[in-house]
């Protein structure tokens, strides 16, 4: 099978466990995912089957949308509720709506983020969480991400007895953004410790939560085929060229093509279709007025290596 299954990952499962489960159900080795979800987070996890694993980087590059909850007043070492509390500052008065909204809006655009210590980011070949568990010192790298929107979606609830204030939010972000770090950094902006207290990924890889299917449903189904979305369903903005047999002979060897169609903008891409399948993605080279291979699909034999977002 080739294509995508938008999986609704349940909280409590790792992304790797989801891939392993689908690999077993599909009876094929070439299965990957389009962006890691932390075990405590539920939501959309695109599963890639067969040649669709060649498009993982393209899935990663698409914006992701989350909904969740942030709690002000304490912080943990993991920046979510799975960790150990490391700071507490009881709130005696709640933040007003304008204070919260202004602070959240300040993150919109390019934002420099330091990934959490308990994360899969690699430093000198080791995951940050390996350093954390061993108690070894490490300098965490920073990265620039994009926050397209970060907005409060509920009235902030103030718990006077606990000295905490919580509210729900929605955020649309670029590849590599840690929402729990965004929550922690919001607390820093407000001058109090903060933690991400709940998170659901609503959109990933072009799939929404409404598009997604649970692992229980897949396990109970007599076949996975009805749940597999074709490659072009995600990249519907790419036009398609139907290849002649002569053009196909060039494409399957990765050779350039000249096509009888209007000149395209530099960098434009095309699906190359032959025999009922998308065989490759080609990119337009304006200097030579030719289309050149960008991603080979059905006729690429490289083994897929599962990566982390």
CA distance 113 to 145: 7
Neighbour tally for 143: CB within 10 Å: 15
Tokens of 279: 């065989």
CA distance 128 to 12: 21
**Measured over all CA atoms, what is the biggest interatomic distance in the chain, rounded to whole angstroms?**
75
The yes-or-no answer on residue 38 being catalytic is yes
Q: Which of 201, 216, 208, 199 is nearest to 43 (CA)?
A: 201
Tokens of 281: 């993605």
CA distance 142 to 120: 14
The answer to whether the beta carbons of residues 309 and 270 sit under 8 Å apart is: no
Catalytic residue among 38, 42, 80, 185, which? Answer: 38
The torsion angles phi and psi of 213, rounded to 5 degrees, stand at -125, 145
CA distance 64 to 109: 15
Tokens of 173: 């972000």
Beta strands in 79-233 (DSSP E): 85-88, 109-113, 122-123, 126-127, 143-152, 157-159, 164-173, 194-204, 207-208, 213-214
Tell me which DSSP letter residue 243 carries: P
Tokens of 51: 């040649």
Neighbour tally for 114: CB within 10 Å: 15
Return the SS3 of 89.
Answer: coil
As annotated, the active-site residues are 38
């Amino acid at each position: 099978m080739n294509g995508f299954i938008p999986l609704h990952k349940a909280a409590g499962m790792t992304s790797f466990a989801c891939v392993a489960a689908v690999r077993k159900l599909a009876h094929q080795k070439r299965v990957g995912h389009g962006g890691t979800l932390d075990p405590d987070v539920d939501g959309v996890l695109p599963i890639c089957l067969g040649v669709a694993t060649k498009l993982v980087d393209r899935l990663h590059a698409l914006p992701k949308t989350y909904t969740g909850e942030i709690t002000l007043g304490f912080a943990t070492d993991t920046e979510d509720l799975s960790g150990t509390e490391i700071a507490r500052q009881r709130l005696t008065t709640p933040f007003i709506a304008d204070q919260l909204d202004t602070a959240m809006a300040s993150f919109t655009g390019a934002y420099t983020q330091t990934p959490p210590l308990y994360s899969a980011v690699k430093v000198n070949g080791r995951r940050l969480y390996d350093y954390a568990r061993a108690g070894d010192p490490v300098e965490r790298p920073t990265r620039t991400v994009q926050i397209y929107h970060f907005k409060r979606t509920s009235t902030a609830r103030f718990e006077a007895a606990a000295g905490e204030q919580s509210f729900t939010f929605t955020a649309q972000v670029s590849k590599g953004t840690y929402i729990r770090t965004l929550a922690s950094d919001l607390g820093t902006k407000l001058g109090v410790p903060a933690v991400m207290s709940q998170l659901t990924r609503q959109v990933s890889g072009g799939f929404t939560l409404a598009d997604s299917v649970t692992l229980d449903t897949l396990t109970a189904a007599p076949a996975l085929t009805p749940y597999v979305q074709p490659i072009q369903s995600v990249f519907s903005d790419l036009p398609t060229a139907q290849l002649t047999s002569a053009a196909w002979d060039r494409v399957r060897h990765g050779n350039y093509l000249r096509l009888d169609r209007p000149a395209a903008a530099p960098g434009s891409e095309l699906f190359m279709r032959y025999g009922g399948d998308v065989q490759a993605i080609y990119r337009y080279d304006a200097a030579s007025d030719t289309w050149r291979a960008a991603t080979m699909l059905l006729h690429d034999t490289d083994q897929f290596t599962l990566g982390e977002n």
